[in-house]
Homo-oligomer: A and B are copies of this chain.
Amino acid sequence: MDLSHASLNSITVRSASLAELVALATDRGFGGVSLWRDTYATIGADAAARATRDAGLRVTSVCRGGMFTHGTAAERRIAWEDNLRAVDETRALGADCLVLVCGGAVDGDLARARGQISDGIAALLPYAEGAGVKLAIEPMHPMMIADRSAITSLAEANDLLDELPSPSLGIALDAYHVFWDAALEREVHRAAGRLLSIQVCDWVLPIQGQLSSRGMPGEGTIDLSAFVALGRAAGFEGLVEVEVLSDRWWREDPTITADAAVAGLTAI
């Protein structure tokens, strides 16, 4: 993969500041970066937009909005206001999309969680449309159903899009979350024209913590070349993000981690 078609996700080099992230990305020829919101929390989205724009970097996504499944009315209100802010920041950054991590089935009631997610997206969508911001539902690995997202397959994300048709609503597709799915090829075809983000990392064992046991592209068992080709065939024309949540790689110096990401991407 040509790095001008790739984006460095901030969480891959978690300890880097925004300025450091921008330098890591430009030094290596990345076409863009993806920003977790903590990277610009202190300087604000407008300053972050200037920093990335001045460096010629596209902002491929902002992570994250969502978390629609909180239990109490007070919690839901806090999440709602946070989602409005996330949309505003995504607009300020001119990012391709705001990734929605939809929220887990905290109490085990999957049907209720999925209903809350559908309702939550429907409520947020007009605000995003008004801001010209695209929301990207991210189906997440089933091992994250209790703590991160009750949307555990691309089929479910496609179902939500059928239910809530809007040019401002699409899908963020991360290889790690969906590669295991026997229906993946069929559902990626169904997602044609809906893919707002494609992310890569690799599946490595053992799982030590369901969130941050991931590997660099090439370290594990996912056929990432086939995965990216599948997304391209479904019309995705954006940059491919390398997003690696890894306790192991987070212990390294960010320059080493960024170099490993480059090596992994280049082999795709």
Contacts and interface: CB of A to CB of B under 8 A. Distances in A.
A141 B159 CA distance: 22
A203 B141 CA distance: 14
B205 A207 contact: no
Given A108-B203, A108-B223, 7 more contacts: A109-B223, A141-B142, A142-B142, A152-B182, A206-B209, A207-B207, A207-B208
Interface in A122-149: 141-143, 145-147
Contacts of A223: 108-110
Interface string A108-123: 1110001000000000
Nearest to A178: B142
A181 B106 CA distance: 16
Interface of A: 105-110, 114, 141-143, 145-147, 152-153, 155-156, 159, 179-183, 203, 205-210, 220-223
A137 to B, nearest CB: 13
A251 to B, nearest CB: 18
Copies of the polypeptide in the assembly: 2
B156 A182 contact: yes
A143 B221 CA distance: 12
Nearest to A159: B182
A109 B179 CA distance: 11
A143 B207 contact: yes
Contacts of A221: 105-108, 145-146
Given A107-B221, A108-B221, A223-B109, A182 B206 contact: no
Nearest to A185: B111
Contacts of A152: 180-182
A203 B144 CA distance: 11
Given A109-B223, A180-B145, A208 B209 contact: yes
A180 B206 CA distance: 21
Nearest to A152: B180
A145 B41 CA distance: 38
A180 B110 contact: yes
Contacts of A110: 179-180, 182, 223
A225 to B, nearest CB: 11
Contacts of A182: 110, 114, 152-153, 155-156, 159
